[in-house]
Structure 1
Amino acid sequence: MKTTLKVAAGAALGAVLRWSVILALGPGMLPLIAVNTVGSFLMGRLKPGPFLGTGVLGGFTSFSTFAVLLTEADPWLAAVYLTATLLSCVGGWLVGDYLSGASPGGLPTRKPGEVFQ
Protein backbone atom coordinates (compact mmCIF):
# COMPACT_ATOMS: atom_id res chain seq x y z
CA MET A 1 0.00 0.00 0.00
CA LYS A 2 2.88 2.38 0.73
CA THR A 3 4.19 1.98 -2.82
CA THR A 4 0.74 2.63 -4.25
CA LEU A 5 0.48 5.89 -2.32
CA LYS A 6 3.97 6.92 -3.42
CA VAL A 7 3.11 6.29 -7.07
CA ALA A 8 -0.22 8.12 -6.74
CA ALA A 9 1.40 11.16 -5.10
CA GLY A 10 4.15 11.19 -7.71
CA ALA A 11 1.66 10.90 -10.58
CA ALA A 12 -0.32 13.86 -9.25
CA LEU A 13 2.87 15.92 -9.04
CA GLY A 14 3.97 14.84 -12.53
CA ALA A 15 0.60 15.73 -14.05
CA VAL A 16 0.76 19.21 -12.50
CA LEU A 17 4.29 19.65 -13.86
CA ARG A 18 3.15 18.62 -17.36
CA TRP A 19 0.17 20.97 -17.16
CA SER A 20 2.53 23.79 -16.12
CA VAL A 21 4.76 23.15 -19.13
CA ILE A 22 1.75 23.09 -21.47
CA LEU A 23 0.47 26.36 -19.98
CA ALA A 24 3.91 27.93 -20.46
CA LEU A 25 4.56 26.61 -23.99
CA GLY A 26 1.01 26.24 -25.26
CA PRO A 27 -0.84 23.12 -26.39
CA GLY A 28 0.15 21.03 -29.36
CA MET A 29 2.62 18.55 -30.68
CA LEU A 30 5.93 20.30 -30.03
CA PRO A 31 5.43 20.93 -26.28
CA LEU A 32 4.31 17.32 -25.84
CA ILE A 33 7.35 15.98 -27.72
CA ALA A 34 9.51 18.12 -25.42
CA VAL A 35 7.78 16.78 -22.29
CA ASN A 36 7.96 13.16 -23.43
CA THR A 37 11.61 13.48 -24.50
CA VAL A 38 12.64 15.06 -21.19
CA GLY A 39 10.73 12.36 -19.30
CA SER A 40 12.38 9.62 -21.36
CA PHE A 41 15.82 11.13 -20.83
CA LEU A 42 15.28 11.34 -17.06
CA MET A 43 14.08 7.73 -16.93
CA GLY A 44 17.23 6.61 -18.75
CA ARG A 45 19.51 8.86 -16.72
CA LEU A 46 18.14 8.34 -13.22
CA LYS A 47 16.68 4.82 -13.34
CA PRO A 48 14.18 6.02 -10.72
CA GLY A 49 12.08 3.96 -8.35
CA PRO A 50 8.29 3.95 -8.01
CA PHE A 51 7.74 7.53 -6.75
CA LEU A 52 9.90 9.37 -9.26
CA GLY A 53 9.71 6.86 -12.13
CA THR A 54 6.23 5.39 -12.34
CA GLY A 55 4.76 8.28 -10.36
CA VAL A 56 6.27 11.66 -11.24
CA LEU A 57 7.71 10.84 -14.67
CA GLY A 58 4.75 8.61 -15.53
CA GLY A 59 2.40 11.49 -14.72
CA PHE A 60 4.65 14.02 -16.45
CA THR A 61 4.80 12.21 -19.77
CA SER A 62 1.66 11.42 -21.74
CA PHE A 63 1.05 8.65 -24.21
CA SER A 64 -2.70 9.29 -24.27
CA THR A 65 -2.33 12.93 -25.37
CA PHE A 66 0.24 11.80 -27.93
CA ALA A 67 -2.27 9.25 -29.31
CA VAL A 68 -5.07 11.84 -29.51
CA LEU A 69 -2.86 14.37 -31.31
CA LEU A 70 -1.68 11.64 -33.65
CA THR A 71 -5.19 10.56 -34.64
CA GLU A 72 -6.41 14.12 -35.11
CA ALA A 73 -3.56 15.17 -37.40
CA ASP A 74 -3.35 15.10 -41.18
CA PRO A 75 -1.86 11.71 -42.20
CA TRP A 76 1.43 13.23 -43.41
CA LEU A 77 1.86 15.29 -40.24
CA ALA A 78 0.87 12.28 -38.13
CA ALA A 79 3.63 10.20 -39.76
CA VAL A 80 6.21 12.92 -39.11
CA TYR A 81 4.98 13.37 -35.53
CA LEU A 82 5.06 9.63 -34.86
CA THR A 83 8.59 9.34 -36.23
CA ALA A 84 9.83 12.43 -34.37
CA THR A 85 8.33 11.23 -31.08
CA LEU A 86 9.77 7.73 -31.37
CA LEU A 87 13.23 8.97 -32.31
CA SER A 88 13.36 11.71 -29.67
CA CYS A 89 11.99 9.60 -26.82
CA VAL A 90 14.06 6.50 -27.52
CA GLY A 91 17.06 8.70 -28.23
CA GLY A 92 16.48 10.66 -25.02
CA TRP A 93 16.36 7.46 -23.00
CA LEU A 94 19.50 6.09 -24.68
CA VAL A 95 21.43 9.31 -24.02
CA GLY A 96 20.26 9.33 -20.41
CA ASP A 97 21.17 5.68 -20.01
CA TYR A 98 24.62 6.30 -21.47
CA LEU A 99 25.19 9.26 -19.16
CA SER A 100 24.01 7.30 -16.12
CA GLY A 101 27.27 5.36 -16.09
CA ALA A 102 29.42 8.51 -16.09
CA SER A 103 28.94 9.21 -12.36
CA PRO A 104 28.74 13.05 -12.54
CA GLY A 105 27.91 14.90 -9.35
CA GLY A 106 28.76 11.97 -7.09
CA LEU A 107 25.94 9.73 -8.30
CA PRO A 108 26.67 6.03 -7.92
CA THR A 109 28.23 4.47 -10.99
CA ARG A 110 25.85 2.16 -12.83
CA LYS A 111 26.21 0.00 -15.87
CA PRO A 112 23.95 1.01 -18.80
CA GLY A 113 20.53 -0.54 -18.26
CA GLU A 114 21.04 -1.12 -14.51
CA VAL A 115 18.09 0.06 -12.40
CA PHE A 116 18.65 2.47 -9.51
CA GLN A 117 16.87 1.39 -6.33
Structure 2
Amino acid sequence: MREAALVGSGAALGAVARFLLSALLPGAAILLAINIVGSALMGYFKPAPFWGTGVLGGFTSFATFAFLTGEMSPARAAAYVTATLVGCVGAYLLGSRARA
Protein backbone atom coordinates (compact mmCIF):
# COMPACT_ATOMS: atom_id res chain seq x y z
CA MET A 1 0.00 0.00 0.00
CA ARG A 2 2.88 2.36 0.74
CA GLU A 3 4.28 1.98 -2.79
CA ALA A 4 0.85 2.67 -4.31
CA ALA A 5 0.63 5.91 -2.30
CA LEU A 6 4.13 6.90 -3.45
CA VAL A 7 3.31 6.21 -7.10
CA GLY A 8 0.00 8.05 -6.81
CA SER A 9 1.69 11.07 -5.23
CA GLY A 10 4.31 11.10 -7.97
CA ALA A 11 1.67 10.75 -10.68
CA ALA A 12 -0.19 13.76 -9.28
CA LEU A 13 2.99 15.84 -9.42
CA GLY A 14 3.75 14.73 -12.96
CA ALA A 15 0.20 15.40 -14.14
CA VAL A 16 0.25 18.91 -12.66
CA ALA A 17 3.59 19.61 -14.37
CA ARG A 18 2.16 18.39 -17.71
CA PHE A 19 -0.97 20.48 -17.21
CA LEU A 20 1.01 23.63 -16.47
CA LEU A 21 3.28 23.18 -19.49
CA SER A 22 0.28 22.45 -21.71
CA ALA A 23 -1.49 25.57 -20.43
CA LEU A 24 1.58 27.71 -21.13
CA LEU A 25 2.26 26.19 -24.55
CA PRO A 26 -1.00 24.74 -25.95
CA GLY A 27 -1.13 22.34 -28.87
CA ALA A 28 -0.08 18.88 -29.90
CA ALA A 29 3.60 19.83 -30.31
CA ILE A 30 4.08 20.42 -26.59
CA LEU A 31 2.57 17.02 -25.77
CA LEU A 32 4.97 15.39 -28.20
CA ALA A 33 7.87 17.24 -26.55
CA ILE A 34 6.65 16.26 -23.07
CA ASN A 35 6.38 12.59 -24.06
CA ILE A 36 9.82 12.58 -25.70
CA VAL A 37 11.51 14.35 -22.77
CA GLY A 38 9.77 12.02 -20.29
CA SER A 39 10.91 8.99 -22.29
CA ALA A 40 14.50 10.24 -22.39
CA LEU A 41 14.48 10.85 -18.63
CA MET A 42 13.05 7.38 -18.02
CA GLY A 43 15.76 5.80 -20.18
CA TYR A 44 18.56 7.80 -18.59
CA PHE A 45 17.61 7.52 -14.93
CA LYS A 46 15.67 4.22 -14.89
CA PRO A 47 13.98 5.63 -11.79
CA ALA A 48 12.31 3.94 -8.86
CA PRO A 49 8.48 3.77 -8.80
CA PHE A 50 7.87 7.27 -7.33
CA TRP A 51 9.86 9.02 -10.05
CA GLY A 52 9.32 6.51 -12.88
CA THR A 53 5.79 5.13 -12.80
CA GLY A 54 4.66 8.08 -10.67
CA VAL A 55 6.12 11.42 -11.74
CA LEU A 56 7.21 10.51 -15.28
CA GLY A 57 4.14 8.33 -15.79
CA GLY A 58 1.93 11.27 -14.81
CA PHE A 59 4.03 13.73 -16.81
CA THR A 60 3.76 11.75 -20.03
CA SER A 61 0.24 10.86 -21.03
CA PHE A 62 -1.07 8.27 -23.40
CA ALA A 63 -4.67 9.29 -22.76
CA THR A 64 -4.00 12.88 -23.81
CA PHE A 65 -2.04 11.60 -26.81
CA ALA A 66 -4.99 9.41 -27.83
CA PHE A 67 -7.48 12.26 -27.40
CA LEU A 68 -5.45 14.71 -29.47
CA THR A 69 -4.77 12.12 -32.15
CA GLY A 70 -8.48 11.32 -32.38
CA GLU A 71 -9.22 14.99 -33.05
CA MET A 72 -6.77 15.21 -35.99
CA SER A 73 -7.27 14.48 -39.67
CA PRO A 74 -6.19 10.96 -40.65
CA ALA A 75 -3.00 12.18 -42.36
CA ARG A 76 -1.98 14.41 -39.46
CA ALA A 77 -2.84 11.67 -36.95
CA ALA A 78 -0.65 9.16 -38.81
CA ALA A 79 2.26 11.60 -38.82
CA TYR A 80 1.77 12.40 -35.13
CA VAL A 81 1.56 8.72 -34.13
CA THR A 82 4.73 8.00 -36.11
CA ALA A 83 6.56 10.98 -34.58
CA THR A 84 5.48 9.92 -31.09
CA LEU A 85 6.51 6.29 -31.54
CA VAL A 86 9.86 7.04 -33.14
CA GLY A 87 10.54 10.02 -30.86
CA CYS A 88 9.64 8.35 -27.56
CA VAL A 89 11.30 5.00 -28.20
CA GLY A 90 14.32 6.74 -29.69
CA ALA A 91 14.56 9.15 -26.74
CA TYR A 92 14.35 6.28 -24.24
CA LEU A 93 17.11 4.40 -26.04
CA LEU A 94 19.30 7.50 -26.32
CA GLY A 95 18.75 8.28 -22.64
CA SER A 96 19.65 4.73 -21.71
CA ARG A 97 22.80 4.78 -23.83
CA ALA A 98 23.85 8.21 -22.53
CA ARG A 99 23.97 6.78 -19.04
CA ALA A 100 26.00 3.71 -20.01
TM-score by length of 1: 0.83
| Same amino acid, percent of matched pairs | 54
Partner amino acid, structure 2, of 1:89? C
Per the TM alignment, residue 23 of structure 1 is displaced from its structure 2 partner at its CA by 1.4
Gapped regions of structure 1 (runs ≥ 5): 102-117
Query: Could you say which residue in structure 2 is the equivalent of 1:19?
Result: 19
Q: Give the drift of 1:2.
A: 1.1
Count of residues in correspondence between the two structures: 100
Secondary structure of the residue that 1:49 maps to in structure 2? coil
Q: More helix by proportion, 1 or 2?
A: 2
Letter paired with 1:63: F
The alpha-carbon deviation at position 64 of structure 1 amounts to 0.5
Alignment-derived partner of residue 58 in structure 1: 57
CA RMSD, aligned part only?
0.7
Instruction: Give distance in 2, aligned partners of 1:56 and 1:3.
Output: 13
Where do 4+ consecutive residues of structure 1 move more than 2 Å?
A: none
TM superposition score normalised by structure 2:
0.97
Letter in 2 for 1:21: L
Q: How many angstroms does 1:36 deviate by?
A: 0.3
Matches within 5 A, 1:1-117: 1-26=1-26, 28-101=27-100
Residues 48-73 of structure 1 deviation map (CA, whole Å, 9 limit, x = unaligned) = 01100000000000000111111111
SS in 1 for 2:47: coil
Computing the radius of gyration from Cα coordinates, the structure with the larger value is: 1
Question: In 2, Cα distance between the equivalents of 1:24 and 1:69?
Answer: 17
